[in-house]
Amino acid sequence: MSGGIPPRDRVRDAQSSLVNLAAEGAVLAPRPAAPVVAAPQQRPEGDAAAAAVVTAAGDNATMLRSGTIEKIAAMSTAGEDAASRADQPKIVALVSAATENGDPRYDHFTKRLVAHPSKLGRLEAPHLSSWTRVGRFPSPFKTNPRSLNLGLSFVSNNETILVDIIGHAQHETISREFLRCGPREFIAFHPQTVNAAIVTCGGLAPGLNTVVRELVCTLSRLYGVENIYGVPYGYRGFYSPNHNLRRLTEDSVSSIHHQGGTILGSSRGGFDLKLICDAVEDRSLNQIFIIGGDGTHRGALAIYEELRRRKCKIACVGIPKTVDNDFPLIDRSFGFDTAVQETQRAINCAKVEAEAAINGLGLVKVMGRASGQIAMFACLASRDVNVCLIPEIPFELTGDHGLLRCVADLFETKGHCVIVVAEGAGMDLISDDMRSYGTDASGNVKRPDIGLWLRARINEHFAAQGQEVNLKLIDPFYMVRSLPANATDSLYCSLLGQSAVHGAMAGYSGFSTGIVNGHHVMLPMTEICNRSRTRVDVHSRMWHRVLACTNQPSLCGSKVEEVPVKESGKPAKPMAT
């Protein structure tokens, strides 16, 4: 065996030389035409060595991905067999413009990624070292013989994922970027000193137990943390004298991912910033993992900021939870795929019921208080829906363009009808009734049941017309929430738990984990909490696919206007949702 630096170490050395690109406003510039340059610099051979070329990295330096050039060259000779040689290569090296323009292998690249100097660090997750002293310990992946293989996949603190990936072929475009999740070579906490707490807040969602299990197993099995606790029933569990923290071990959580709900219990409300932070300090907790929605994250941000003000060495990490899939920035939230799958089953039942009766109407009410994403994707998955009603688009009940006229036409042409309605749709029609419902403990407006309201209006209308109608209302709301995660969500939840632990152990705080463009990143909580919920874009191709699938007419006349989200009942202080 020849001596020298192993290929993986060469890649890691090159990786450590990257400039910090975790910034808002990184520029993606088109490559200029290649000028006449001197002979290209000799590049080392081998897949890893190709990435280790770090030349004069000035303002003109560009980034390459390890193995990319070699993969392209191999594809031209080995065909499809070369596809497995460089699966998903990583950015690990800076290459000068002179080298790029002088090497024909660079002809496949069309963009140059250039950091925005004045914006460096804008979207970087906060680190404990910014306000307190932290340790620097080698990762157990390097020192524990059982985990040595894991040490081959360390992620640099300079690896970032682009957010805005759609560009223009001939012009400069801009993009934000977030730090990539993953195990770091050095950690800020010695595992024997870690006291970790896990809390679930707000409503239930498929996959909660899977996230809890993976948090425990990653802390215990991979990092050797012994003190892991579960906080009962949401935020109030930190300070309530009626509840005690629950010790969590690998054995106690080994099979909980097969169960729905959360073994820790959950609740809305109960947020008291001073009591929570005092309890965290009194109990000597130094890592807090908070699983919840947008309201819960507003609370998590407040906790992080207060602990930072106190200069505490405590990592506060969020994991986004919302079945409605309306959490900002991330590709999707866990539990969403399971919800769509179960909703599709409800639609199938509604279809059977509708076809089996004279003027049968299957009405399915689905989750979606402010966003119609479950309704939209479930309709596309089932392809049996005639009308899809979502909160983003108003609809008329009566008149030539109203829902009742559409149902009558479907009875006449098809003999049956299937309608899917999101729980937040049609609130403008029944807004007068909303004042009497108040708000829940999280400050969310308690809405009247659109399913019951539509059923009553439809039955009344056709009874007045002397026309028979057989309407079956199916509401799978609580069935969906209480399910265990399906395979896709289960895998996603596991990766979220791992990413959260890796970030906390590395000393990051005030961030939440999530997928952006297919990669797990650390999202600063400030970025999350300053954004509104994600809604269906009614001008998007996805919604147009729904219209093509259902063939439904416009139910609000000739002009389509989005319904604004009513947030009047939302409290100023953070709550659990």
Three-state secondary-structure class, residue 55: coil
27: left (phi over 0), alpha (psi -120 to 50) or beta: beta
One domain, residues 462 and 494: no
- Answer whether residue 194 is part of any domain: yes
pLDDT over threshold 90, residue 125:
yes
- Answer whether residue 140 is part of any domain: no
Integer angstrom CA distances of residue 301 from 15, 202, 294, 534, 574 = 31, 16, 10, 19, 9
Burial 94-106 (b: 16+ CB within 10 A, else e): bbbbbbbbbbeeb
User: ∠ at Cα 28 (74, 159), nearest 5°?
Assistant: 70
pLDDT averaged over the chain? 82
CB-side neighbour CA atoms (13 Å) of 414: 19
Whether 575 and 441 have beta carbons less than 8 Å apart is answered as yes
Q: Which of 137, 140, 187 is nearest to 508 (CA)?
A: 187
Integer angstrom CA distances of residue 342 from 203, 240, 256, 379 = 18, 36, 20, 12
Q: What is the DSSP string of 162-218?
A: ES-----TTS-EEE-EEEEPS--SEESS-GGG-EEEEEE-SS--TTHHHHHHHHHHI
Residue with tokens 């206007």: 561
Beta bridge partners of 198: 230, 289
One domain, residues 297 and 376: no
The CATH code of the domain that includes 477 is 3.40.50.460
One domain, residues 376 and 427: yes
One domain, residues 297 and 397: no
Integer angstrom CA distances of residue 251 from 213, 216, 217, 247, 278 = 10, 10, 9, 11, 30
- Answer whether residue 147 is part of any domain: no
* Position 5 confidence tier, pLDDT thresholds 50, 70, 90: very low
What is the helix (H) or strand (E) element at residue 307, kind and residue range?
A: helix 294-309
pLDDT one-digit tens code per residue, 241-265: 999 999 999 999 999 999 999 999 9
One domain, residues 310 and 350: no
Three-state secondary-structure class, residue 453: helix
Q: Which residue has the higher pLDDT, 345 or 50?
A: 345
- Answer whether residue 142 is part of any domain: no
Give residue 127's identity as a one-letter amino acid code.
H
- Answer whether residue 12 is part of any domain: yes
DSSP 8-state assignment for residue 473: E
- Answer whether residue 52 is part of any domain: yes
Rounded CA gap, 346 and 474, in Å?
Answer: 7
Rounded to an integer, the average pLDDT of 81-100 is 52
pLDDT one-digit tens code per residue, 7-30: 344 334 333 333 333 334 455 555
Rounded CA gap, 453 and 435, in Å?
Answer: 16
Q: What spatial distance separates the first Cα and last Cα of the chain, rounded to whole Å? A: 59
One domain, residues 28 and 15: yes
Last residue of a domain, one of 124, 140, 160: 124
Give residue 26's identity as a one-letter amino acid code.
A
Q: Which of 459, 466, 465, 399 is nearest to 429 (CA)?
A: 399
Lowest mean pLDDT among 132-141, 157-166, 269-278, 309-318: 157-166
Give residue 188's identity as a one-letter amino acid code.
A
Rounded to an integer, the average pLDDT of 295-316 is 97
One domain, residues 344 and 210: no
Retrieve residue 236's tokens.
């109030």
Tell me the catalytic residues: 324
One domain, residues 74 and 221: no
Rounded to an integer, the average pLDDT of 549-556 is 92
Rounded CA gap, 547 and 554, in Å?
Answer: 9
Q: What's the domain count of the chain?
A: 3
Query: Other C-beta atoms within 10 Å of 52: how many?
Result: 22
pLDDT of residue 173: 84
Q: Which of 172, 159, 489 is nearest to 323 (CA)?
A: 489
Sign of the Cα pseudo-torsion (368, 371, 375, 381, in order): negative
Rounded CA gap, 185 and 113, in Å?
Answer: 25
One domain, residues 299 and 238: yes
Range of the domain at 61: 1-124
* Position 98 confidence tier, pLDDT thresholds 50, 70, 90: low
Last residue of a domain, one of 92, 124, 156: 124
Burial 476-512 (b: 16+ CB within 10 A, else e): bbeebbebbbbebbbebbbbbbbbbbbbbbbbbbbbb
- Answer whether residue 161 is part of any domain: no
What is the helix (H) or strand (E) element at residue 450, kind and residue range?
A: helix 450-464
pTM: 0.82
* Position 298 confidence tier, pLDDT thresholds 50, 70, 90: very high
Retrieve residue 5's tokens.
């630096």
pLDDT of residue 243: 92
Rounded CA gap, 138 and 189, in Å?
Answer: 10
One domain, residues 327 and 408: no
Beta bridge partners of 522: 179, 513
The β-bridge relationship of strands 195-200 and 227-231 is: parallel
One domain, residues 95 and 218: no
- Answer whether residue 276 is part of any domain: yes
pLDDT one-digit tens code per residue, 168-179: 888 888 888 999
The β-bridge relationship of strands 287-292 and 195-200 is: parallel
pLDDT over threshold 70, residue 423:
yes
One domain, residues 256 and 284: yes
Q: Which residue has the higher pLDDT, 150 or 195?
A: 195
Whether 577 and 444 have beta carbons less than 8 Å apart is answered as yes
